[in-house]
Structure 1
Amino acid sequence: MQFESVSESRLSFVVCFIAAFVGCAPLLQAQTEPAAPHTFFRVKAAETLTAPVSGRLLLFLKPGSGDKEVSIDEFHPTATYVAAQEIHDLEPGEEVEVNADQLAFPKAFSELNGGLYEVQAVLDTDHNYNYAGRAPEDWISNVMALAGWKPGSTAEPELVLDHHPEEDAQRKAAYEKLKGTATADVARLEEFESPALTRFWGRPTKVRAWVILPPDYVKSGGKYPTVYWTHGFGGEIDSALVSGLRIYERMKAGKMPPMIWVMLDESCPQGTHEFADSVNDGPWGTALTAEFIPWLEKKYRMDARRDGRFVQGHSSGGWASLQLEVNYPKVFGGTWSTSPDPSDFHDFTGIDLYADHANVYHRPDGSAYPIMRDKGQVLATAEQFTRLEQVLGPYGGQMTSFDWVFSPKSVSGAPEAMFDRVTGDVDPKVVAYWQEHWDLAHVVSTHWADRGADLKGRIHVYVGTADTFYLDGAAHKFDAVLKGLGADAHFTYIPDRTHFDLYGVGDDRQGLFDEIGQQMWDVARPGKSWKNRQ
């Protein structure tokens, strides 16, 4: 996990249903009165465009003025209003009228009070806004100030899609400088066309990773333990390199033992595939363990044995590393998973998916389930998080990504939704499938007889007690299950740490890597020191 349709909530429906039987005439009358006129914007494709454009047209509007960009803030999801509409083959110079009430978050634009606002249009051409935000191929308008604007009382504002998003120049320069250090003796990009994935998708599909070499790799001539690292939701191949180079610098500085780190890319159009053998995303676990790893071990001086192969990752990558260890205990000698996505679905970010009449949006008393917090303050509810994701697009968002990884395939070919996006009601049949295949606490319990000997002592989890996404709850439940099995698992709960500062040790924001690296080394090279190799 790492950050993420307008209709009445289930609670409101119940209130209105009861009111009808107690003679609440004013409420019924109000519901039959004509709705306020819808609010529209006009969006035009600039005449300078050279070809028709298609995609998901997004309008971002918020109070204020003077900003160069109007976008969402994941930590304050209701601060910006978003409306969406699909468009197809909009010709240069042609315009489209966007109904800002039909598909909007957090509410219809017509419900806004008058005031000073600013608005911007974005055409998400490749439908990946939920995962990566604005891309260089998208089209955007300038930010328009709406002084004294009141929905429906003035002419429809017109926005012109005439340029692409500008990449942050400083950030780009910093990345290019960093990438320049990725010489062949430090980092190598590996792309492997997977036969299993290619058969599944019917087109060439690759496993990609940056292989980070230890500083003494070229001159040593020896073999090395290898770590397969996976990023969280929102990560991709470039961010994997950045993380890998940070690890390289720690090895170079003598803070971490010399090992090979394979920085895997687990992003896909549907979100993160998490290297699971999913009926929707494809056999990524098989592709990694049966194809990619043997291929790499022929190219590099890797230990090529269970106690020399480890998995590690954070957030969605933390869950991926957990499931890889659970499902392939003879391949990997241990996982060091940090802030993993829910590993026990009795606590799916605080929600018990197995409860009678389970609902992702509301507790039995009608109160909202939170999904993000900071310093004890709720930043977003599960319903807000999901509804924003639905407006931005039904592709690549966190909740949708869970369905793609965990769910069975529907008759239409799409994954079955675990819960109704309108009401929040959980589908027990889909949850039963989730449990059987991907509830790791259940999977370990069910298969302990045949996997227990290989898993004992191999599971390590770190999570903050103030995790931003409430992921410490599931960790405690998984921990209890493993204790009951005698699994000798190692769970570390770091007081007051969140999802984003978990690795800090003193003033070192990445210091936890040193501890993890040392523990891996002790498994691969018991009783041997690595410091004399520096």
Structure 2
Amino acid sequence: ISAMMADRSLPPMIWVFLDHSGATGTNEFADSVNNGPWGKALTEELIPALERQYAMDARPSGRFLTGHSSGGWSTLWLQVRYPKLFGGSWPTSPDPSDFHNFTNIDLYAPGANFYRDAKGQPIPLVRDHGKLIATMEQFARAEAVLGPYGGQIASFEWVFSPRGADGRPVPVFDRATGKVDPAVVAYWRDNYDVANIVTRDAAALRRDLDGKIHLTVGTADTFYLDGPAHLLEAAMAKARIKASFTYLPDKTHFDLYVRGDDKMALMKDNAWAMYAVARPGAKRPAP
């Protein structure tokens, strides 16, 4: 980062890299009944402490979010949950933001199943362009063998699910059959489906969220995350909240940032877009 700022390929900014990993998986910096109030701790404790200690631009136009994959979902949810605090979010390839397409699963469909679609066909989860690599069932069963904590699906439940009588998150689906629990899905919808939150709270969010979401995903995303991004884009448009969505042709989950020989090209683009908000009129140096 310092080298890229020194050669002016990145603008002068203070970067804070947040580690959201933990014993139960990733906490996403989302407020959760299972993991705790990570969003509240970030926004009410950590950020104010940093701004007291360092020469930071302590105003919304000086605070920006960006992250990839689960970090992309986190920075998307944080911007929607705390729209006045941040001046914009640049999520890349975020985890599903509309649960009508939770990596190819419509969680709201009657009789929804994590493993099979309405026609009984296996639900794909991982692809390499046109080649299927793994199904959701294969992924879920492999994760179950490895243990109940720390995997991707378990992480979702530790963040999104209500707490059960045993003190653990209530599973969103039966690991043996794939059957989805509609009551758990309803809880997920009300608290963590970003498209639903934007639609439901459009009037309250519009002023503070307008123009602040800038999402980028590849059309060949390895985990099919371009699908839910399209649904979120439609929800934002219906809510009349301005947002920008960019779909990079043939890019996957893992080469999204690459352009030519530059492996960090998208990061640089997003950083300069942030800087334009913080310092209107600033010019990006010619390459």
Higher relative CO (Cα under 8 Å, sequence separation at least 6) belongs to 2
Verify: 1:479 aligned to 2:233, yes or no.
yes
Instruction: Report the Cα distance in structure 1 between the residues aligned to 2:283 and 2:132, rounded to whole angstroms.
Output: 46
Match of 1:328 among 82, 85, 93: 82
- Asked if structure 1 preserves the Cα contact closer than 8 Å seen for 2:123 and 2:135, the reply is yes
- Asked if structure 2 preserves the Cα contact closer than 8 Å seen for 1:258 and 1:530, the reply is no
Alignment-derived partner of residue 301 in structure 1? 55
Instruction: Report the Cα distance in structure 2 between the residues aligned to 1:250 and 1:357, rounded to whole angstroms.
Output: 51
Alignment-derived partner of residue 462 in structure 1? 216
Query: Hey, which of these two has a bigger chunk of strand by percent?
Result: 1
Verify: 1:520 aligned to 2:238, yes or no.
no
- Asked if structure 2 preserves the Cα contact closer than 8 Å seen for 1:503 and 1:512, the reply is yes
Verify: 1:404 aligned to 2:158, yes or no.
yes
Query: Hey, which of these two has a bigger chunk of helix by percent?
Result: 2
How far off its partner does 1:529 sit?
Answer: 3.7
Match of 2:205 among 434, 444, 451: 451
Letter in 2 for 1:274: E
Alignment-derived partner of residue 422 in structure 1? 176
Verify: 1:264 aligned to 2:18, yes or no.
yes
Instruction: Report the Cα distance in structure 2 between the residues aligned to 1:286 and 1:369, rounded to whole angstroms.
Output: 35
How far off its partner does 1:487 sit?
Answer: 1.3
Alignment-derived partner of residue 431 in structure 1? 185
Task: Say which SS state the counterpart of residue 113 (structure 2) adopts.
Answer: coil
After TM superposition, which residue ranges in structure 1, 4 or more long, deviate above 6 angstroms?
A: none
User: For residues 301 and 391 of structure 1, do their structure 2 counterparts lie closer, same or farther at Cα, with a shift above 3 Å needed?
Assistant: same
Instruction: Report the Cα distance in structure 1 between the residues aligned to 2:284 and 2:197, rounded to whole angstroms.
Output: 36
Letter in 1 for 2:78: L
5+ unaligned residues in a row in structure 2: which ranges? none
Alignment-derived partner of residue 247 in structure 2? 493
Equivalent residues in 2 for 1:98-247 (5 A)? 247=1
Letter in 2 for 1:457: G
Task: Say which SS state the counterpart of residue 417 (structure 1) adopts.
Answer: coil
How far off its partner does 1:412 sit?
Answer: 0.8
Match of 2:140 among 383, 386, 406: 386
Letter in 1 for 2:24: Q
Instruction: Report the Cα distance in structure 1 between the residues aligned to 2:222 and 2:5, rounded to whole angstroms.
Output: 30
Task: Say which SS state the counterpart of residue 64 (structure 2) adopts.
Answer: strand
Instruction: Report the Cα distance in structure 1 between the residues aligned to 2:6 and 2:144, rounded to whole angstroms.
Output: 45
CA-atom RMSD in angstroms: 1.1
How far off its partner does 1:449 sit?
Answer: 1.2
Letter in 2 for 1:422: A
5+ unaligned residues in a row in structure 1: which ranges? 1-246
- Asked if structure 2 preserves the Cα contact closer than 8 Å seen for 1:373 and 1:380, the reply is yes
Equivalent residues in 2 for 1:15-54 (5 A)? none
Task: Say which SS state the counterpart of residue 260 (structure 1) adopts.
Answer: coil
Verify: 1:288 aligned to 2:42, yes or no.
yes
Identity %: 57
Letter in 2 for 1:501: D
State the Cα deviation string for residues 121-143 of structure 1 (Å, max 9, x = none): xxxxxxxxxxxxxxxxxxxxxxx
Verify: 1:376 aligned to 2:123, yes or no.
no
How far off its partner does 1:248 sit?
Answer: 2.7
- Asked if structure 1 preserves the Cα contact closer than 8 Å seen for 2:60 and 2:87, the reply is yes
Q: For the pair shown, which has the larger CA radius of gyration, 1 or 2?
A: 1
Letter in 2 for 1:440: V
How far off its partner does 1:297 sit?
Answer: 0.4
Instruction: Report the Cα distance in structure 2 between the residues aligned to 1:339 and 1:451, rounded to whole angstroms.
Output: 23
Output the TM-score relative to the length of structure 1: 0.53
Alignment-derived partner of residue 28 in structure 2? 274
- Asked if structure 2 preserves the Cα contact closer than 8 Å seen for 1:318 and 1:341, the reply is yes
Instruction: Report the Cα distance in structure 1 between the residues aligned to 2:59 and 2:252, rounded to whole angstroms.
Output: 35
How far off its partner does 1:507 sit?
Answer: 1.3
How far off its partner does 1:364 sit?
Answer: 1.6
Task: Say which SS state the counterpart of residue 174 (structure 2) adopts.
Answer: coil
Alignment-derived partner of residue 99 in structure 2? 345
Letter in 2 for 1:471: L
How far off its partner does 1:249 sit?
Answer: 2.4
Letter in 2 for 1:467: D
How far off its partner does 1:365 sit?
Answer: 1.5
- Asked if structure 2 preserves the Cα contact closer than 8 Å seen for 1:329 and 1:455, the reply is yes
How far off its partner does 1:484 sit?
Answer: 1.3
Instruction: Report the Cα distance in structure 1 between the residues aligned to 2:267 and 2:138, rounded to whole angstroms.
Output: 34
Instruction: Report the Cα distance in structure 1 between the residues aligned to 2:3 and 2:170, rounded to whole angstroms.
Output: 44
Output the TM-score relative to the length of structure 2: 0.98
State the Cα deviation string for residues 259-284 of structure 1 (Å, max 9, x = none): 00000111011110000000000000
State the Cα deviation string for residues 473-500 of structure 1 (Å, max 9, x = none): 0000000111112211000000000000
How far off its partner does 1:510 sit?
Answer: 1.0
User: For residues 511 and 530 of structure 1, do their structure 2 counterparts lie closer, same or farther at Cα, with a shift above 3 Å needed?
Assistant: closer
Number of residue pairs matched by the alignment: 286
Instruction: Report the Cα distance in structure 1 between the residues aligned to 2:15 and 2:27, rounded to whole angstroms.
Output: 20
Equivalent residues in 2 for 1:348-359 (5 A)? 348-359=102-113
